[in-house]
Chain A
Amino acid sequence: MKIRTSSLPLGLCLALLLSACGPSFTQPTPDGFVKLKNQHNYDYRAVTADGLVYSVKEISDAAKGDTAFWAKAVENKMRIQAGYALIDKKQVATSQGLEGTQMQFGFDRGKTPHLYSVTLFTKNDSIFVIESGGTKELMEAHRSDLEAALQSFRVN
């Protein structure tokens, strides 16, 4: 009986800890996408029927870099080391007022041109990495859906 009473606060603490480990953002699923479950490397990932993918990762920012720092790091990584073409780099903001940097890259998979978008937000010692990618044709066709999804992204 003693054991049961003492395990109650411990259980509460564990529950609190587990809830704290979960993603601290909200991402409504964009139109035409379905949310995928059990994603190990992504906190959120959704896909269209024809293979366009949208994802969100939350990364603990122990280094406490600002958005400009991380944007440059991603740009170098993708361009110089991975051979992606930087097509566009711009400042974006969500409807919540969160400001970040978005980079649009181009890359040929096989002989098919693909587009890959990376948007970075930093808040509460976290980096939020929003990626979307697919063939150039699909990405251009779903451009407004992807922009709407980004607008609706919220940090809790």
Chain B
Amino acid sequence: MLTPTRIIVLLVASFVASCAASPSYHKSAIAQAPMEARNADYGDSDASSGYASYEVAEEPAPPPTMGMAPTSPGSQPTPKQPQTTKPAPIKPAPGPAAQQKRPMLIYRATINLAVFEARKSIDEVEALAKSLGGYLVQRTDSSIVVRVPAKTFDGALEAVSKVGDELHRQVQVQDVTAEFRDMQIRLKNLQAVRARLTALLDRAKTVEEALRVERELERVAGNIESIKGKLKYFSELIAFSTITVNFQARPAESIRSDVNLPFPWLNRLGLGRLLDLN
């Protein structure tokens, strides 16, 4: 039985529920936010930038399999959808946005090969890198640095180790995901600032005002180029793994912890002593 009290409670409850479901409050809150806060709305993209298509969110997006089909605010579920409004899974669209979900890793390896027929082995390492779609970075008489596509990194390491007698190997992985995404956010913010400064420049009434805005624009443009350069550098390091091959014994200090047997005659072996006839 509906008493007046119950009717009031029900009315209040339905009003609160409709308010919570409506996105209009959220929208208006954003619209009223100060300009500085809106800079954090990264939907403002610069089509001319190579990084504009990257998806950036303050909170990590759910994994692709948990994605929700977008629905318009206040839309009613279709009859086929269950009343629980369980989201229908959608396939993530492949592309930069999807790629950004993966950790961004930079792989580097250093291999020490024994010092034997170094020149021939260096030629082989260079040819190997090129055959994998990589390239030569640096080459001396006793070392070579190459970059190979990241997906071929493991195979390249195995192939390099067969070029000579591998004495030591060190592989480093650097996770630059946070740094990379931070730079993307800074870039988008700066692009937004640049757009607003450009608009301000159009509205400048005096030469002095125009000059002041232009100086600021110049500073912002410099920062944008700097960040773009860093992003490009990072992208290249992520896409191509670096392999350094040294043809030399490991430095004594790095093997000091290894077992050093107390038999002095072992230290008197080698070509240097054998071939010294004086």
Give residues in A with beta carbon < 8 Å to B.
Answer: 36, 41, 45, 47, 51, 53, 55, 57, 59, 63, 73-74, 76-87, 105-109, 111, 113-114, 116, 118, 127, 129, 131-134
Residue B158 at the chain A interface, CB threshold 8 Å: no
A80 touches B167 (CB 8 A): yes
Residue B165 at the chain A interface, CB threshold 8 Å: yes
Residue B266 at the chain A interface, CB threshold 8 Å: yes
Residues of B close to A107: CB separation below 8 A? 114-116, 271
Closest-by-CB residue of A relative to B266 is: A77
Closest-by-CB residue of A relative to B259 is: A76
B115 touches A116 (CB 8 A): no
Partner of B167, one of A79, A109, A134: A79
Q: How many A-B contacts are there with CB distance less than 8 Å?
A: 97
Residue B248 at the chain A interface, CB threshold 8 Å: yes
Assess A133 versus B265: contact at CB under 8 Å? Given A79-B167, A85-B114: no
Assess A109 versus B269: contact at CB under 8 Å? Given A79-B167, A81-B249: no
* Bound complex: CA A138 to CA B13 (Å): 98
- A111 CB to nearest chain B CB (Å): 7
Closest-by-CB residue of A relative to B120 is: A113
A-B contact pairs, 19 of them (CB 8 A): A41-B268, A53-B274, A63-B263, A80-B168, A80-B255, A80-B258, A81-B255, A83-B112, A83-B249, A84-B114, A106-B117, A106-B165, A107-B271, A111-B119, A113-B117, A114-B271, A131-B269, A132-B274, A134-B275
Q: Annotate B244-278 by CB proximity to A: 1 below 8 A, 0 otherwise.
A: 00011110100100110101011111110111010
Assess A85 versus B116: contact at CB under 8 Å? Given A80-B249, A80-B255, A116-B270: yes
Interface residues on B, range: 20 to 34
* Bound complex: CA A116 to CA B115 (Å): 13
Residues of B close to A129: CB separation below 8 A? 265, 269
Residue B157 at the chain A interface, CB threshold 8 Å: no
Residues of A close to B149: CB separation below 8 A? none
B116 touches A36 (CB 8 A): no
Assess A85 versus B164: contact at CB under 8 Å? Given A77-B269, A108-B115: yes
Residues of A close to B164: CB separation below 8 A? 85
Closest-by-CB residue of A relative to B114 is: A85
Assess A85 versus B115: contact at CB under 8 Å? Given A59-B265, A77-B269, A80-B255: yes
Residues of B close to A85: CB separation below 8 A? 113-116, 164-165
Residue B59 at the chain A interface, CB threshold 8 Å: no
Residues of A close to B261: CB separation below 8 A? 73, 77
Assess A108 versus B277: contact at CB under 8 Å? Given A83-B249, A86-B165: no
A57 touches B116 (CB 8 A): no
Residues of B close to A82: CB separation below 8 A? 249, 270
* Bound complex: CA A109 to CA B275 (Å): 11
By Cβ-Cβ distance, the 7 closest A-B pairs, closest first, are A83-B249, A85-B114, A106-B116, A85-B165, A85-B116, A83-B115, A77-B266
Residue B202 at the chain A interface, CB threshold 8 Å: no
B249 touches A118 (CB 8 A): no
Assess A131 versus B274: contact at CB under 8 Å? Given A81-B255, A83-B167, A83-B249: yes
* Bound complex: CA A141 to CA B44 (Å): 75
A78 touches B274 (CB 8 A): no
B118 touches A108 (CB 8 A): yes
- Choose among B141, B165, B269 the residue with the greatest number of A CB atoms under 10 Å from its CB: B269
* Bound complex: CA A36 to CA B259 (Å): 35
B277 touches A84 (CB 8 A): no
Partner of A133, one of B112, B141, B274: B274
Partner of B165, one of A79, A131, A133: A79
